[in-house]
């Protein structure tokens, strides 16, 4: 009887020690307003240190289907923690943003 209680206790203590793991990567949701009347426009993402090199990610951002006119959104996922630069070539603009481990950061430019 004592052996069963002891084994049950050991088994329960094994499962109670599990930790919630935090993802080693993060993401960002970037929204901004533009006067351009386009459905989608190109963007590029660079590391802050490699801003003069080849981009890590290139894509097109889309206009939000919302009540706010000319509001655009970019969501980037699975980036390592650190500082990044997003370049909107048609707008001739760039912004710095930060990725935090296990979180989605929200930016509104």
* Each residue's pLDDT tens digit, 15-70: 555 566 667 889 999 888 777 776 677 889 999 888 778 888 888 766 665 556 67
* Each residue's pLDDT tens digit, 63-109: 665 556 677 788 888 889 999 999 887 778 888 999 988 899 998 88
pLDDT of residue 3: 72
Q: Where are the domains of the chain?
A: 20-108
Q: Is CATH 3.40.50 what the domain over 20-108 is classified as, yes or no?
A: no
Provide DSSP, 2-48: HHHHHHHHHHHHHHHT--PPPPS-EEEEEEEE-S---SEEEEEEEES
């Amino acid at each position: 009887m004592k052996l069963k209680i002891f084994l049950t206790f050991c088994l329960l203590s094994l499962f109670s020690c599990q930790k919630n793991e935090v993802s080693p990567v993060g993401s960002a949701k970037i929204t901004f307003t533009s006067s351009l009347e386009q459905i989608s426009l190109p963007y590029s993402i660079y590391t802050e240190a490699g801003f003069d090199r080849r981009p890590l990610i290139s894509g097109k951002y889309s206009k939000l289907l919302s009540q706010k006119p000319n509001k655009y959104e970019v969501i980037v996922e699975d980036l390592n923690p650190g500082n990044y630069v997003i370049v909107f070539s048609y707008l001739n603009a760039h912004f710095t943003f930060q990725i935090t481990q296990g979180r989605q950061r929200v930016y509104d430019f």
